[in-house]
Structure 1
Amino acid sequence: MKIKSQRDFWSGLMFLLVGIAFAWGSTEYSFGSSARPGPGYFPFGLGVLLALLGALVLFKALTIESAGGDPIGSIAWKPLLLIVGAILMFGLALPKLGLVATLPLLIFVSALAGDEFHWKDALLNSVILTIGSWVVFIWGLKLVIPVWPTFLVN
């Protein structure tokens, strides 16, 4: 069987494997019922949906011809490292710096990964996403996440 689109083949395979891994991993948790779902109910459903999406993309890659085989280009190392670094930095800095300092930091570092960086856009995104995150996670869901830096609270 010939791969007709390399991009679709590898992305479909990745979605399929990640979906199966999440669905399988969620079986360790209680499923509950449809009326009262447990902690494994939602991740299992998402894993199955992701695996199905991956299977469809994989099927397309093996059946529908694309121009030139749709080759995969080189790996964009700068954006990859900036995004992964920003996520790691967010996880490490959140307990000490709080949400109002760490989230804008995450957004600015992530924005540097793109081809076009504009300070005004990153600042506007930081303000909107920080306020939105506070509304959803702190006010709405009542999660215990540090909001302010520890040196300001103590």
Structure 2
Amino acid sequence: MKPKGSRDFFAGLLFIALGIAFAWGATAYSFGDAAAPGPGYFPFGLGVLLALLGGMVLFKSLSIESEGGQPVGPIAWRPLLAIVLAVLGFGLGLHRLGLLLTVAGVGFGVSFAGREARLWEALLLGLGLALFSWAVFVAGLGLPLPVWPSPVSTWWPR
């Protein structure tokens, strides 16, 4: 069976693979039950839902004829690299630089993933995201996140 829309075909395969991997990773945690769900309950359900969604997209690409299908275009390296670096930067920077500086820096950096980025818009985006993150997660939900940078001597384990 030949895919009628190659973009949907590969997106469906990707969703299925990510959903299965996510659900499989969640099996390392206890599930609990519906009344008292454990830490693996919700991630497992999301992984299964993502895999099912991928199955529907894959089925659509194999069964519904579209006008020549949409071919898979070239990989957009700039946005891909910006997103990967943002995730790594957040993971590495949160406990070292604190929530405000990390989110502001990540928001500023990711805004340059597009070609029409402007410096002032990027600065405002970073600042707005940092303040919003603090308001929601620290002030609103009371999560014990480091807000300010930690001393440089504590950045790397001894």
Task: Please report the TM-score for the alignment, with normalisation by the length of structure 2.
Answer: 0.87
| 1:6 CA displacement | 0.6
- Equivalent residue for 1:146? 146
Name the count of aligned residue pairs.
Answer: 152
CA distance in 2: counterparts of 1:77 and 1:10, whole angstroms: 18
- List runs of 5+ in structure 2 lacking aligned partners: 152-158
- Equivalent residue for 1:101? 101
CA deviation profile, 1:25-67 (whole Å, cap 9, x unmatched): 2122111111111001100110111011000000000011122
Aligned pairs for 1:1-150 (under 5 A) are 1-150=1-150
SS of 1:35 mapped into structure 2: coil
Corresponding letter in the other structure for 1:18: L
Superposed CA RMSD = 1.7
| 1:128 CA displacement | 3.1
- List runs of 5+ in structure 1 lacking aligned partners: none
Is contact 2:19–2:48 with CA below 8 Å preserved after alignment?
yes
CA distance in 1: counterparts of 2:58 and 2:137, whole angstroms: 36
- Which runs of 4 or more aligned residues in structure 1 lie more than 6 Å from their structure 2 counterparts after TM superposition? none
Corresponding letter in the other structure for 1:49: L
CA distance in 1: counterparts of 2:5 and 2:60, whole angstroms: 8
Is contact 2:8–2:58 with CA below 8 Å preserved after alignment?
yes
Is contact 1:97–1:150 with CA below 8 Å preserved after alignment?
yes
Task: Please report the TM-score for the alignment, with normalisation by the length of structure 1.
Answer: 0.89
Identical aligned pairs, as a percentage?
A: 59
